[in-house]
Amino acid sequence: MMDIKLKATLQGHQNPIFCVEKGYYPNTFFTAGNDKGVVEWDVEKQAFKRILCAVSSSVYALRLIPDTAILAIGLREGKLLFVDVEQQKLVASLQLGTKAIFALAYMQWKNELLVVGEEGRLYVVDLDTYKSIYNIPVSPTTVRAIAVDEKLARIALGDKDGNIHILDSEDFHHMTSTKLHHMPTTSLAFLQGKLLSGGRDAQLIVSDVNRPDHNFSFVPHLFTVYGIYPHPSEPLFATVSRDKSLKFWSSDDFALLKNMSREKLKDGHHLSVNAGIWSDDGQYFFSVSDDKLVKVWEFKA
């Protein structure tokens, strides 16, 4: 049994919001998008906390480096910023090509940040030096999604042609490329030894990591699946979509547990839901949308 309800709707963004990340301080989180700044929010006060930093172009990706106060920020212009949240200052800025950065992933055992985007390349950034140490061609087209499973030593990347590329996380050598979606791949997540991928074709495909062509699929949403988010401790995951809804699913049998659409909940998002994130303790799920609203969902198992 599970219960999830809307705790708060937070206003303040003037434009669509594209990404959300958990906070460094307890009961905080970050959002960014087509505005000129990264915003920090306070969950308990249900209010705006501060503008963390100004940015020069749209933000498509945020990643707080675990066990540090460093927030990585990926911009439309190919710039990657590292901001110290405690001191509220820029600690490094990298120019990784000239095209948009769409996704960031962290490899703890190497202390490296993985960066993908419109160029179709994988940039590997050493977080001890904030230098790009590898620049690996992955696809001739945009790579919009990335996921890492450290236990499996695998990196998954999804491109605009609907392909899933699997790399070995030890030395980044290419293992497989499989066309799973007939439209762009837009989201990826590892879950219980399986790889979940969502696409613009509204499909969610559950694949064997070592043999992606061994898979099954279902249709979780009416339109693009923009994000797949496993709960940090419970056997369930969330998905968000261009169809204005977010849904919660069982990890065991992929049964629908809860549908938070406008039709089911009058306070739901009324435009595309672009991203989400669980709080570290799994008590909250944060969602952001083209409707310029941030919603805080409270979860109880």
Q: Is residue 47 part of a domain?
A: no
- Which residues contact residue 62 at a Cβ distance below 8 angstroms, ignoring those fewer than 6 apart? 19, 20, 21, 30, 31, 32, 38, 71, 72, 73, 74, 104
Q: Is residue 40 part of a domain?
A: no
Q: Is residue 190 part of a domain?
A: yes
Distance between CA 114 and CA 128 in Å, rounded? 14
Q: pLDDT digits over 15-33, tens only?
A: 999 999 999 999 999 999 9
- In 3D space, the residue among 298, 283, 294, 278 whose CA is nearest the CA of residue 22 turns out to be 278
Range of the domain at 115: 3-12+93-300
- Tell me the mean pLDDT in the region 215-244: 97
Q: Is residue 67 part of a domain?
A: no
CATH number, domain at 241?
2.130.10.10
Confidence of residue 1 (pLDDT cuts 50, 70, 90): low
pLDDT for position 6 = 94
When divided into structural domains, the chain yields a total of: 1
Residue 265 has pLDDT above 80, yes or no: no
Q: Is residue 159 part of a domain?
A: yes
Q: pLDDT digits over 232-248, tens only?
A: 999 999 999 999 999 99
Q: Is residue 209 part of a domain?
A: yes
Distance between CA 133 and CA 130 in Å, rounded? 9
Confidence of residue 266 (pLDDT cuts 50, 70, 90): confident
pLDDT for position 2 = 80
Q: pLDDT digits over 94-127, tens only?
A: 999 999 999 999 999 999 999 999 999 999 999 9
Q: Is residue 37 part of a domain?
A: no
Distance between CA 208 and CA 202 in Å, rounded? 20
Distance between CA 134 and CA 151 in Å, rounded? 22
Place of tokens 């066990």: 67
Q: Is residue 52 part of a domain?
A: no
